[in-house]
Amino acid sequence: MNQAAIFGNHKQASRWLAAQLHKSAVAADAPFLTGRHWKRGLAAFLRAAENKHIILVFRNEQLQEVSEAFHQLGIFEMSVFPWDTHFFGRETTILQHCLTAIDNSKPRLDRVEIELNSGCNLNCKGCFQFSNLVNGKCPADLDAFTKDLQQLKKFFWGIGKIRLQGGEPLLNPDFLLFIKAARKIFPDSDLRLVSNSLLLEQLERGQLAVIRQYNCSIDISAYPPTRKKLKSITDYLDAAGVSYNVSLPIKVFYKGLLATPAASPDRAYDHCIFTRCHSLERGLLGACTRQFYSSRLNEAFGLHYPARDPEEVVDLYHTSLNGWEINRLFGKAHPFCSYCSPGLEPFAWKTAPKNSAKAEDWIIAGNPSGRKAAALLQKFLKPFAVRLRRRNQRPKRRRH
């Protein structure tokens, strides 16, 4: 790269980047700064950027949409700088850690959820991943994880958000190695460790330093037992300089599976607020976490939900689909959605380990009129819930 043109919506990060490039003997124009309506400035920017290497400086979650616009214009070699997850201010950001060259002939995957340990130390009744039906420590395999991410890279230039979760990921003694591998393969990602955080204070300072060094943040799920010790957990993380997000208080869980499928999957999908929860395990990429892990419910209670149906799960080592086609497949209702209720049924949060869990913790008993009201309410609330969830999950990176 001899000449660079910066297109971004963060003044401080864009100017800092231009100055760093100059120091590395790359001629960079004054950044072309844009705002919420970034498409309006695109034509003017492209005229000025001819024959230069384009760098996008946007929020991490915006990079999929913006890079796709450049793909449609036939621009495939470029770089990205996700400022909200990778820029910590002038003094503490390292150029090589925040600037990633991408192959923009491929798309980006918006999000993936990967279990580092299937079992959990909390065992919530009605766990979305059915982790309370798995016994305790059941760690993922690091080699398989690394190969799967490398394989995923053949389809996508990057991943917006990687959520390393469980069950409880801290029950995997090698969890730091998973963080390192994920960061190495997908340097652009908003990398998160999703935890109930009850074991967090048992981590050593050195382990927290690695989490910080690899620019991973922690998503603290605020279940009642977690909330009781939230202050000491966040004090511990603050002292170590580790970034974190705390979820809204979780006092209520929801059951949402139907005993028999609806005629069409579309209504449940239209009402669903968990439509971007793609899962990855052993070479399989699934559209939805609930569908992906419903085999646990089948095994525990002798049921027959179509877990990992080939129509909605992509075998990354044998598929003929490309990344664009996978994104299209995952962007619409899939057959398993017909097993979901368009209206969820709430219940108070409590624990239910495997020996006390029941199928009814997930499956709604038939009451069509009650469900109709719940479905209408859910449809009405969905836009607010999605916006609230997105806002609450926005990166809150602290200065290192």
- CB nearer ligand SF4, residue 3 or residue 245: 245
Go through the chain and tell me how many residues it has: 400
Q: What is the largest CA-CA distance in the chain?
A: 69
DSSP of 297-313, one letter per residue? HHHHHT----TT-TTTE
In the complex, what is the shortest distance from the CB of residue 210 to ligand SF4, in angstroms, rounded to a whole number? 23
If DSSP codes are grouped into helix, strand and coil, which group holds residue 43?
Answer: helix
- The sign one gets for the Cα dihedral 36, 37, 43, 44 is negative
Residue tagged 């201010």 (tokens): 89
CB 67 within 8 A of CB 18: no
Measured in whole angstroms, the distance separating CA 158 from the mean position of its chain's CA atoms is 12
- CB nearer ligand SF4, residue 110 or residue 168: 168
- CB nearer ligand SF4, residue 41 or residue 306: 306
- CB nearer ligand SF4, residue 104 or residue 123: 123
Please report which helix (H) or strand (E) contains residue 92, including its range: none
In the complex, what is the shortest distance from the CB of residue 131 to ligand SF4, in angstroms, rounded to a whole number? 4
Residue 106 has a CB neighbour count (10 Å cut-off) of 19
Q: Which amino acid is at 355?
A: N
Taking alpha carbons only, the member of 393, 372, 108, 96 closest to residue 247 is: 393
- CB nearer ligand SF4, residue 127 or residue 316: 127
Strand 244-246 with 284-286, pairing: unpaired
In the complex, what is the shortest distance from the CB of residue 331 to ligand SF4, in angstroms, rounded to a whole number? 11
In the complex, what is the shortest distance from the CB of residue 205 to ligand SF4, in angstroms, rounded to a whole number? 25
In the complex, what is the shortest distance from the CB of residue 73 to ligand SF4, in angstroms, rounded to a whole number? 32
- CB nearer ligand SF4, residue 85 or residue 123: 123
Taking alpha carbons only, the member of 202, 9, 207 closest to residue 121 is: 202
Tokens standing for residue 29: 């124009």
Rounded-to-integer distance, Cα 198 and Cα 3, Å: 49
In the complex, what is the shortest distance from the CB of residue 85 to ligand SF4, in angstroms, rounded to a whole number? 23
If DSSP codes are grouped into helix, strand and coil, which group holds residue 158?
Answer: strand
- CB nearer ligand SF4, residue 41 or residue 261: 261
- CB nearer ligand SF4, residue 80 or residue 220: 220
In the complex, what is the shortest distance from the CB of residue 31 to ligand SF4, in angstroms, rounded to a whole number? 39
Binding site for ligand SF4 (CB under 6 A): 120, 122-124, 127, 129, 131-132, 166-168, 196, 221, 268-269, 272, 274-275, 288, 290-291, 336-337, 340
Angle between helices 175-185 and 205-213 (to 10 degrees): 10
In the complex, what is the shortest distance from the CB of residue 79 to ligand SF4, in angstroms, rounded to a whole number? 33
CB 156 within 8 A of CB 107: yes
Is the link from the previous residue into 366 a cis peptide, with omega within 30 of 0? no
CB 114 within 8 A of CB 145: yes
Beta strand ranges found along 118-189 (DSSP E) = 158-166
Taking alpha carbons only, the member of 250, 216, 256 closest to residue 350 is: 250
- CB nearer ligand SF4, residue 196 or residue 217: 196
Tokens standing for residue 90: 């002038």
In the complex, what is the shortest distance from the CB of residue 145 to ligand SF4, in angstroms, rounded to a whole number? 18
- CB nearer ligand SF4, residue 93 or residue 294: 294
